[in-house]
Amino acid sequence: MRGRGVLCSGVLVLACFGQAQAAPEVKIPPICLSQPQSADCAAQTRHALNDSMTHLYRLELQRVMGTYAERRLDHAQNLWRRWANAECLFRDGPPDRGGADWNQRQDACLSGMIRTRIAQLDGFVHCSGATCPPR
């Protein structure tokens, strides 16, 4: 499956980070300016969104490092990745029955899922007091 590399499960090895930063702004890939409905635009958009999501995940993981919340966050992110893949596969059907634009539909579906997850992770990164998950 084409999206497998983006939404695979596993433990991320973190490099040393400085101060927590906001998620990088997701920039519109250049191909989308000239060909907004193309498969390349959908794929590059998904990759850019995934990079932003990964950044926020790492920031939150750094914040909860060494607490029980670290394990919960890692587990939740891995399950979220599996769920997002399964949900989009359910919506679009298997690749062999999906037609010529199956990859493009998968990229669009996963992009929507990732946008939602970015909002959730951003809420965790910027939470305070009672709005934060327990550690």
Domain assignments of the chain as residue spans, ordered by start: 67-126
pLDDT, residue 98, reads 77
**What's the predicted TM-score (pTM) here?**
0.78
- pLDDT of 9 strictly over 50: no
21-66 pLDDT, tens digit each? 555 577 788 888 888 888 889 999 999 999 999 999 999 999 999 9
- pLDDT of 79 strictly over 90: yes
Interval 73-102 mean pLDDT: 93
Give the DSSP letter string of the chain.
-GGGGTS---PPPPPP--S--PPPP-PPPHHHHH-TTSHHHHHHHHHHHHHHHHHHHHHHHHHHTTSHHHHHHHHHHHHHHHHHHHHHHHHH--GGGS-TTHHHHHHHHHHHHHHHHHHHHHHHHT--GGGSPP-
